[in-house]
Structure 1
Amino acid sequence: MSATDTLLSAVPQSPSAGIKTMARFGFAAIGIVYILMGVLALLAATGLGGGARPDREEAVQRLQDLPAGNIMLGLIAFGLLGYIVWRFTQAIRDTEDKGTGLKGVGTRLWYIASGLLYAGLALYAGRLALNGRTERGADTSQTLTAKVLGWPGGDWLIIILGVVIIGVAIFQVYRAYSGKFQKDVNASGLSANQEQLVYRAGQVGFTARGLVLAILGYFFVQAGQQSRASAVGGTGEAFDFLAEMGPVVLGTVAAGLVAYGLFMLVQARYPVLRGI
């Protein structure tokens, strides 16, 4: 082995400790948010929710009522920021080796979009941690939709966006039953029974998440067809939509989101973070 080869072999090939830590904080933060959101939806399904709306902001706000709630909110905000950093790292440094082809670039752009989806929630959690109770901001998705609808052909752009989101939802369900999500968890530290439980939680969780995303995509399609930005909704509106189908449907999806949150916590504990 040459001196150059020896030097290269000494260079760490895994993600830096800092980015790895931020990624794990991110998985944990998302897991906690989904568990809280699922629990709120379960309470709503059983009539015990006290009128609380089971959406992401409400889930984060509930942390403030717990002991050391502001500290927890700060950690959630930091964790969500860590997830955004990790997603950007995946996209920019191509840690998954997706390449520069059309499919690869599309996947890497999705990593960025996936990270940015949590930017607003991270900001909201940070404001709560620093300032206490705060008013919810305007619905960003509705505001942006209204602007796009004002463009020439804007209604078609919104419809296309809705179709893309529905496509992502279908992919989530595909991931659930293809078992591809298993590669995101290092199962070497799990027993066979634990690995099976994690696998089932992932299946149920990704399916439930896919259903919620499909509803959000449907909202965008409706907004484009009707040229009406108010037709766009977030997770709260998606749960309202499910509640109209009955408490059993809402409760089933809510339980699935709790399962997804648990899967994310396991991923935080046993992550597979490919090299950068």
Structure 2
Amino acid sequence: MNLSSISSQIPSTQPQWVKRFAKLGLAAKGVVYCLVGILAFMAAFEIGGRSERNLNKQGVFQFIMDQPFGQFLLALVAVGLVCYALWRLTQAFLDNERKGNDAKGIGRRAGYAFSGLVYGFLAYGSLRTVLGSQGNQGGDSTRQTLVREILQKPFGQWLIGLAGLCIIGIGLYQIYRALSGKYLKNVQTSSIKTELKEMIIRSGKVGYIARGIVWGLIGYLFIKAALEANASEAGGSSTAFAFLEKASYGSFLLGAVALGLFCYGIFMFVRARYEVINTSS
């Protein structure tokens, strides 16, 4: 795919349009991850009768719907997720970040496009929940059905195993961003109040590490599904949480990861406030 030729056919964007979409999208992402963290922590210590089942983003949408004015609140989150998806797609096709057209640049822009598509599907799932027709869309059972179909194809186990390795790679990259400080690259930390700066920086680091751990666990479960030719081993975040819960000291492990995901959500609000959003292609 030639991203340059595609971007040349798209009308130039207005800077304020891009900034507003990015900031609203990051805030919506923060809401989702904070709720994932809270619900996972409650499940870890069996608070309020919560369990690790359905602790995916679709479960979060349903949780929002169950609150007072839930339909209105979830509609706002859905709009935010649409904005986030459009911002990522803008980064991919208009190259606002000036990643270029070499192999590395195309790889980064393809990553933006993938993120845009993922959050576009999440926005679609949240809108279905608002309209009361969510069904089983977006859950771990959907992933397991897809994995089951792929496993029945020639080289299916290899494909699922490769997907697992790629997912682990994403997780390791999240941890690398945390430890290297790259997660702060576009954040104007000088504008953050001195008394809050250290806590915010640490919350971002912890958050990215926790997110990397979850990605790594999901990848490991995909590889396990491939090796055992058993689609039920694969899944998303709720399957990863269940895996942690079954480990030794599982409640504490899940609780720690849950707090990390909550920190990641908080850092998305920080990004929404302090990140420099590039708007010129």
Fold shared by both chains (TM-score > 0.5): yes
What SS does structure 2 have at the residue aligned with 1:184? coil
- Matched-pair contact (CA < 8 Å) for 1:87–1:114: yes
Which residue of 230, 242, 246 maps to 1:244? 246
Q: Does 1:19 align with 2:18?
A: yes
User: Per-residue displacement from partner, 1:101-141 (whole Å, max 9, x unpaired)?
Assistant: 2222222111122222223321221122223x743226332
Which stretch of the first structure deviates more once superposed, 103-112 or 208-217?
103-112
**Counterparts of 1:15 and 1:271 in 2: how far apart (Å)?**
18
Distance in 1, matches of 2:183 and 2:26, equals 14
Name structure 1 gaps, 5 residues minimum. 1-12
1:269 aligns with 2:270: no
Q: Which amino acid in the other structure matches residue 44 of structure 1?
A: A
What is the match of residue 215 of structure 1?
Answer: 217
Separation (CA, whole Å) in 2 of partners of 1:27 and 1:121: 14
Identity of aligned residues (%): 41
**Post-superposition offset of 1:75:** 1.0
Match 2:262 to one of 246, 252, 258: 258
Is structure 2 residue 238 aligned with structure 1 residue 205?
no
Match of 1:186 in 2: 188
Q: Contact (CA 8 Å) 2:18, 2:279: kept in 1 or not? A: no
**Paired residue secondary structure (2:47):** coil
What SS class does the counterpart of residue 273 from structure 1 fall into? coil
Q: In the alignment, is residue 58 of structure 1 matched against residue 59 of structure 2?
A: yes
Q: 1:93, CA displacement in angstroms?
A: 1.6
Is 1:39 equivalent to 2:38 in the alignment? yes
Aligned partner letter, 1:182: L
Aligned mates of 2:48, 2:111 — CA distance in 1 = 34
Report the secondary structure of 2:68's partner residue.
coil
Amino acid aligned to 2:44:
A
AA at the equivalent of 1:254: A
Distance 2:24 2:142 in 1: 25
Whether 2:109 is the aligned partner of 1:105: answer no
2:111 aligned partner, one-letter code: W
| Partner residue, 1:5 | none
| Structure possessing the higher radius of gyration over alpha carbons | 1
Structure 1 distance, partners of 2:150, 2:112, is 23
Residue pairs, 1:221-232, within 5 angstroms: 221-232=223-234
* Conserved? CA contact 2:136–2:142, under 8 Å: no
- Which residue is 1:153 aligned to? 155
Q: Return the alpha-carbon distance in structure 1 between the equivalents of residues 186 and 58 of structure 2.
A: 27
> Aligned residue pairs: how many?
263
Contact 1:205 1:256 (C-alpha < 8 Å) held by counterparts: yes
- 8 Å contact kept, 1:220–1:232: yes
| 1:14–1:274 CA contact under 8 A, matched in 2 | no
2:181 aligned with 1:167, yes or no? no
Report the TM-score when normalising by structure 2.
0.87
* Code of the aligned partner of 2:162: I
Comparing 76-85 with 118-127, greater Cα deviation is found at 118-127
Q: What amino acid is aligned across from residue 69 of structure 1 in structure 2?
A: G
Measured after TM superposition, the shift of residue 99 of structure 1 is 1.9
Match of 2:6 in 1: none
Tell me the TM-score normalised to structure 1 length.
0.88
